[in-house]
Chains A and B, each alone.
Chain A
């Protein structure tokens, strides 16, 4: 595992926006992988987080701290939980990296690339409609036909740049960004 930088080693809980982005990126991983929910549990076991997330319900309960969720949980999420979720996400991004790369590549034929993006966006929209509160402005932006594709591209680029062990610190620093 990568050494956590001194600036990030002190336990700082993720702000509200950070929790939203973390859960949205996990949702993107699920949209890319049809068996994403299972893969997340398996990855959690592989990384040794059984004590934190002994079953899928516990994992789901932590993710429900996202304020954009349809059934959101109140209270502060522990730093150990967010760190574990970040590591699960970066490991999943590493596993899904070939797909992320295909989506981002400008060398791919435009028609094929557009088809891939349309498939990803439709899966993500299904997950959003199923799990997130559609009255929230942030959620409506994701479903917006103009703003939605740009936000999806940003999420996929963030996933690609934070894939693997080397991306853990970068992603964590990004999720700790203050609100603009």
Chain B
């Protein structure tokens, strides 16, 4: 006998239909074989699908909610995935792609409250002991630093490096505009400095023998005694 499990929130109703898997000894109340599911979001087209579509929905909605809690929303579901969800301003764009060719994807725009309802319905489904299906749901994990850095707007993230590069460029330009000293103006200064300092032997020669002065102390000659 076909069983129907229903999970409801204010704007969302998820219905799962299936049968107990008697080959694994499941009781009459359990659903072990999923035959179909439907999702009705208030004011939107009702969605229907198979088990793989439900799993794809769980695979994108749970991590999306996880990122939203940390304030770092990002797209989940690539171009080949049957379900994708994108942040779009204050709303969220849920895209459902049909497996049949030439069928355009169905796009639903939902607000924060409708998303929270959907997450709660999917939580109820995941935690329902009557649903004995090994549904693949991603494990919540702490985000990486790189993912959290995206919370800060790009302009604010780039402001410091741009200011640094601009300051370096400005300092370089100013240093290039400074006039370089000419070689002729440097030579006399060097000559006058050289003339002010006389070699030690010259100073010794100009000093009268035995005169006291601020020169270096005379080295005593070996064998000579001082009085």
Contact = CB atoms under 8 A, between A and B. Distances in A.
Given A104-B112, A162-B69, A166-B127, A173 B142 contact: yes
Interface stretch (A3-11, A61-69, A126-134): A3-11
A98 B115 CA distance: 14
Nearest to B123: A166
Given A2-B127, A180-B148, A107 B113 contact: yes
A179 B148 CA distance: 8
A106 B69 contact: no
Nearest to A167: B123
A interface, size bucket: 35 or more
Interface string B113-128: 1111101101110110
Interface stretch (A74-82, A136-144, A153-161): A153-161
Interface string A1-37: 0100111100000000000000000000000000000
Contacts of B123: 164-167
Contacts of A104: 111-113, 116
Contact of B69 (A8, A97, A174): A174
Contacts of A2: 127
Given A160-B116, A178-B145, A165 B152 contact: no
B3 interface: no
Interface in B203-225: none
A164 B126 CA distance: 13
A106 B113 contact: yes
Given A107-B113, A160-B112, A180 B10 contact: no
Interface in B71-111: 71, 90-91, 111
B149 A166 contact: no
A84 to B, nearest CB: 19
B66 A174 contact: yes
A178 B10 contact: no
A114 interface: no
A178 B140 contact: no
Given A7-B141, A161-B68, A169-B140, A180 B113 contact: no
A157 B120 contact: no
B58 to A, nearest CB: 12
A35 B185 CA distance: 86
Contact of A166 (B117, B126, B148): B126
A100 interface: yes
B162 to A, nearest CB: 19
Contacts of A163: 116, 120
A139 B112 CA distance: 25
A176 interface: yes
Nearest to B152: A180
A100 B117 CA distance: 11
Given A7-B140, A172-B140, 15 more contacts: A7-B139, A8-B140, A97-B116, A104-B116, A106-B90, A158-B68, A158-B69, A161-B69, A166-B119, A167-B123, A173-B142, A178-B145, A178-B148, A179-B145, A180-B148
Interface of B: 10, 62, 65-66, 68-71, 90-91, 111-117, 119-120, 122-124, 126-127, 139-145, 148-149, 151-152
13 contacts: A7-B139, A97-B120, A104-B112, A104-B116, A106-B111, A160-B113, A166-B126, A170-B69, A174-B142, A178-B145, A180-B145, A180-B149, A180-B152
Interface of A: 2, 5-8, 97-98, 100-102, 104-107, 154, 157-158, 160-167, 169-174, 176-180
Q: For the complex of A and B, list the 6 residue pairs with the smallest distance between their C-beta atoms, beginning with the closest.
A: A166-B123, A173-B140, A105-B113, A180-B148, A106-B111, A104-B112
